[in-house]
Amino acid sequence: MVLFSYFGNMTVMRPSLLQWIRCTLLSLVGISLIGWITSCSSISSRSAHLNRWMQAENPELLRILCTTSHIQNLVDAIGGDTVLSLVLIPPDLDPHSYELVKGDGEKFSRAAWVFANGLNLEHGASLHTLLTEQTNVTQIGHAIQTQAPERILWSDGFIDPHIWMDVSLWALAIDPIVDQLSKLSPEHRDFYHERGQNLTTTLRQFDQELWQDLQQISEPNRYLVTSHDAFRYFVRRYLALSNETPEGWEKRLTAPEGLAPEGQLSPLDLQRTMLFLQEHRIQVIFPESNVSPVSLDKICKTARQMGQPLRVCTTPLYGDSTGGLSYIEAMRHNKDVLVANLGRQ
């Protein structure tokens, strides 16, 4: 009787169900189409900018090549209309392993100057070699390391290159850029210095905003699992307790893929991450915009099989890429996602 009634209702409802399926399929096609159009539009916009950069003939305009968008943001903020900047590594690719592709060599030969992150971020062999051999390169991380060696982090003998994740540390990149642009275009020295000072003020205020807002997350919830180890500077600056030693705050994060997201998840990585999740009763883990979520999905599946409630955050964080946003927008996005997900646990 119940079965009859159920199918009977189904018969009555069939036209609206078909309509619903049709609408859903059309919506999915529409969403895919919008995504495809947006992606094409973004690629087309990057291609137009590349053409403009390659063909610029104004000798007063400094043609600057930056390996990452984090660096480009600083260069643009300081150089204003006197520079034309280009990012070498596309936002959806891994800067750790990026290798030169056709056309990249010409970008290097046309650039008046190259700003790279350094600290072995760009360790793809072909790019690393070029950055080492070229004489018109500033490795920003090395300049920051010279200014504040005690603030540079190391992990198992390897230097941690993710210095942009601490805004107060990243602000130390401003002076080396101001100095270099001033050498390239001495008539704009005062202009660069003034804009550099304004940017320093902006970043210091933004650093305080991030710190203040992240204090909303209670101490027991200040544990972070991300795809790879891009967030150690971030945790030290914004999630560590006041006066917490490295032995303390280093235990507040783990990342199954280590310092560079190139390897596959090993059984040991999986075991280590599972222990971390259990020890700190973690309920949510965070993917990154330019790293495959496969490892985190596997961890989530394993945790659930063991009866532990765990979810992968549906909004990725920006680790190695700003995903087309400005540096400040990307960092603010990270803060908002963490407060929304860890602050309510």
Classified as helix, coil or strand, 101 is: coil
Q: Which is nearer to Zn ion, 74 or 230 (CB)?
A: 230
For the chain, helix, strand, coil in percent to 5 are 60, 10, 30
Burial of 290 (0-12, 13-18, 19+ CB in 10 A): buried
Span interacting with Zn ion, options 5-13, 53-61, 225-233, 323-331, rule CB under 5 A? 225-233
| Strand extents, DSSP E, 6-118 | 62-66, 83-87, 113-116
> What is the chain's Cα-based Rg?
24
Among residues 122, 257, 288, 320, the one that binds Zn ion under rule CB under 5 A:
320
- Give min distance, CB of 164 to Zn ion, in A: 10
Q: Which is nearer to Zn ion, 97 or 147 (CB)?
A: 97
Residue nearest to Zn ion (CB): 320
Six-digit token string for 298: 């596997």
- Give min distance, CB of 119 to Zn ion, in A: 11
Q: How many residues touch Zn ion (CB under 5 A)?
A: 2
Q: Which is nearer to Zn ion, 230 or 342 (CB)?
A: 230
Span interacting with Zn ion, options 8-16, 210-218, 223-231, 271-279, rule CB under 5 A? 223-231
Q: Which is nearer to Zn ion, 98 or 191 (CB)?
A: 98
* Interaction residues for Zn ion, span 100-129 (CB under 5 A): none
Burial of 328 (0-12, 13-18, 19+ CB in 10 A): middle
Q: Which is nearer to Zn ion, 69 or 182 (CB)?
A: 69
Among residues 111, 127, 230, 285, the one that binds Zn ion under rule CB under 5 A:
230
Q: Which is nearer to Zn ion, 78 or 230 (CB)?
A: 230
Span interacting with Zn ion, options 50-58, 193-201, 222-230, 328-336, rule CB under 5 A? 222-230
Binding mask 244-273 for Zn ion (x = CB under 5 A): ------------------------------
* Phi–psi pair at 341, nearest 5 degrees: -95, -35
* Interaction between residue 166 and Zn ion (CB under 5 A): no
- Give min distance, CB of 137 to Zn ion, in A: 20
Span interacting with Zn ion, options 36-44, 124-132, 216-224, 320-328, rule CB under 5 A? 320-328
Cβ neighbour number for residue 197 with a 10 Å cutoff:
14
Strands 253-254 and 224-225: parallel
* C-alpha 146: how far from chain center: 24
* Phi–psi pair at 196, nearest 5 degrees: -65, -40
Six-digit token string for 72: 């480009």
Distance, in Å, from the CA atom of 86 to the CA atom of 278, rounded to the nearest integer, reads 44
Span interacting with Zn ion, options 112-120, 202-210, 270-278, 316-324, rule CB under 5 A? 316-324
Distance, in Å, from the CA atom of 217 to the CA atom of 10, rounded to the nearest integer, reads 48
Task: List residues binding Zn ion (CB under 5 A).
Answer: 230, 320
